A and B are shown apart, each in its own frame.
Chain A
Amino acid sequence: MDLVTPGFGLIFWQAVTFLIVLFLLSKFAWKPIMNALSEREASIENALSAAEKAKLEIQGLKAENEKLLAEARLERDRILKEASDAGNALIETARNKANEEGTRMVQQARESIENEKRAAIAEVKNMAAALSIDIAERILRKELADPSAQQTLAQDYISAVTLN
């Protein structure tokens, strides 16, 4: 029975001592320890969230870069396409122009050849006429040296002319 009968002395000392311990440890041990722990946890929390934020920022930057890069790529493709288009158009117009010019020149040449030809033919005709007249003159001169011949000719002409 002695075992389960609390003794007064021990109750007294235990109560007094425990309360003193509780007070002193609360003030000088638990409070600073708990504060230090929560402070440290808060700082770890902050560091972690800052790291997370930095990670997100970096991801954002990366995405931004990717976007810029993609945009730049698109721009480049667009510029290249435009340039090639412009080049093609240029070539096309140049070709057309050249073709036109060629056609025009050919036409001009043809026309000038035609003119030359015409002029040449006219000249040949004139020359042929002059030559014919000259020849005819010479022949006539020779033929009509003899007055009988002149007579005959005149007779011929006269006979050819039929008086109506």
Chain B
Amino acid sequence: MKRLLVLLFAFLTVTASFASETAEGGKFEPGPLIQHHIADDYKWEFAHGVDLYLPVILFDNGSLNVFSSKNFYNENHEVVPYNGYVMSHGHIYRADAAGNASEDKAGLYDISITKNVASLFISVALLFLIFMTVAGRYKKSAGKAPSGIQSFFEPIIIFVRDEIAKANIGPKYERYMPYLLTVFFFIWFNNLLGLMPGGANLTGNIAVTLVLAVLTLLITVFSGTKSYWGHIFATPGVPRWLAPIMIPVELIGILTKPFSLMVRLFANITAGHIIILSLFSLIFIFESMAVAPLSVAFAIFMFFLELFVALLQAYIFTLLSAMYFGGAVEEHDHVDDMGHGDGVHH
């Protein structure tokens, strides 16, 4: 209960930071505000005026440039070119003679520690801290009943093992456990961190979900058994002359599965952020305190929903990954199973 209250309090401070933003900006525009909050950035804005400038790392045709993103701002918080680069619409470009963004991006790779990358590092540190502690507890009190943080995470780990991995992959589940557990806790932790005030929208960023989905795809493809590929290139029970249609369809199927994983996580988390931000924006759109109680009530409701969604999306991503792995390692040795997995299994 105490933790919930802390969360709630922390959440309300987000509102406070919105309030100060509109005070000086004149007409309130919810669109850019929301876009700004869900997008990546080169600085971490904890509250209005409290910024942490993050390092910019540019890999430009073999030479490495590292400098603080503070250099892109002058004392009036206006964007200025620095060192031949310029920041425009949240991206870094080469600056042309006039100090404007140049179209020429060849050989310029931006691997800056952005807000999302910093948040990624924090979440990873948190993951290490928590699960090394948990693992330590298992070593220290081997064979004893779990206690403390260990007893909080143990049921979740067992749930992932029994209900997700064992249920969908079958007897070969063990080698997928590290990936499934890592992906589950990674997504869950980052979803929750994204809900923190000032938190980055990491799992709502398509680059992050893309990497996770590609990993699931790679693991699926590389653990595909002979019968898995057999079902793709020569689906049993389908006439041979349909192969020119079936093979492309099956190949597209391989790609659509991780694609849906990528979009589902990205869209769910981003949508949650947008809804909460929109509800708060209503107060400033109507410019009335009378809307505030309603907005806040709805936003709190949405926040709790998002806490649930944070867990749910982690579960869904892990579950679907496990199902794809299960499909790849499954041994189809039944003629009556027409590739739909609805035949008799033993």
Interface positions of A (Cβ within 8 A of B): 2-15, 17-18, 20-22, 24-26, 28-34, 36-37, 39-40, 43
Interface string of B158-180 (1 = CB under 8 A from A): 10010000000000001001110
Interface string of B72-94 (1 = CB under 8 A from A): 00000000000000000111000
B250 within 8 A of A: no
Specify which of B90, B120, B142, B211 is in contact with A2 (CB 8 Å cutoff). B90
Known contacts A9-B117, A14-B120, A21-B182: A2-B207 contact under CB 8 Å: no
Among B124, B134, B161, B211, chain A packs the most CB atoms within 10 A around the CB of B211
Known contacts A3-B206, A37-B154, A39-B142: A29-B134 contact under CB 8 Å: yes
Chain B residue numbers with a CB within 8 Å of A13 are 111, 113, 117, 120
Chain A residue numbers with a CB within 8 Å of B177 are 30, 34
For the complex, give the distance between the alpha carbons of A39 and B226 in Å.
33
- Of all chain B residues, which has the CB nearest A6? B207
Interface string of B195-214 (1 = CB under 8 A from A): 00000000001111011100
User: Measured between C-beta atoms, what is the minimum distance from B214 to chain A in Å?
Assistant: 8
B128 within 8 A of A: yes
- Of all chain B residues, which has the CB nearest A36? B138
For the complex, give the distance between the alpha carbons of A147 and B143 in Å.
156
For the complex, give the distance between the alpha carbons of A43 and B212 in Å.
36
Specify which of A4, A9, A36 is in contact with B142 (CB 8 Å cutoff). A36
Among B179, B186, B207, chain A packs the most CB atoms within 10 A around the CB of B207
Q: Would B139 and A36 count as touching, CB distance under 8 A? A: yes
Known contacts A2-B89, A29-B131, A33-B157: A21-B124 contact under CB 8 Å: yes
User: What are 6 sample pairs from A and B whose C-beta atoms fall under 8 A apart?
Assistant: A3-B35, A7-B207, A9-B57, A14-B208, A18-B182, A39-B143
Chain B residue numbers with a CB within 8 Å of A5 are 206
Query: What is the interface of chain B mostly: helix, strand, loop, or mixed?
Result: helix
Interface residue total, chain B, C-beta cutoff 8 A: 50
Chain B residue numbers with a CB within 8 Å of A10 are 40, 114, 116-117, 205, 207-208
Q: Would B186 and A11 count as touching, CB distance under 8 A? A: no
User: Measured between C-beta atoms, what is the minimum distance from A3 to chain B in Å?
Assistant: 7
For the complex, give the distance between the alpha carbons of A7 and B124 in Å.
20
- Of all chain B residues, which has the CB nearest A23? B178
B304 within 8 A of A: no
B310 within 8 A of A: no
User: Measured between C-beta atoms, what is the minimum distance from A37 to chain B in Å?
Assistant: 7
Q: Would A4 and B206 count as touching, CB distance under 8 A? A: yes
Q: Would B132 and A29 count as touching, CB distance under 8 A? A: yes
- Of all chain A residues, which has the CB nearest B145? A40
Q: Would B135 and A33 count as touching, CB distance under 8 A? A: yes
B127 within 8 A of A: yes
Closest 10 CB pairs of A and B: A26-B178, A6-B207, A36-B138, A10-B207, A29-B131, A14-B211, A29-B135, A13-B117, A30-B178, A9-B111
- Of all chain B residues, which has the CB nearest A20? B124
Specify which of B40, B158, B174, B182 is in contact with A22 (CB 8 Å cutoff). B182
Specify which of A20, A29, A32, A37 is in contact with B158 (CB 8 Å cutoff). A37
Q: Would B135 and A32 count as touching, CB distance under 8 A? A: yes
Q: Would B111 and A12 count as touching, CB distance under 8 A? A: yes
Instruction: Name the interface residues of B98-149: CB closer than 8 Å to any CB of A.
Output: 109-114, 116-117, 120-121, 124, 127-128, 131-132, 134-135, 138-139, 142-143
B181 within 8 A of A: yes
Chain B residue numbers with a CB within 8 Å of A26 are 178, 182
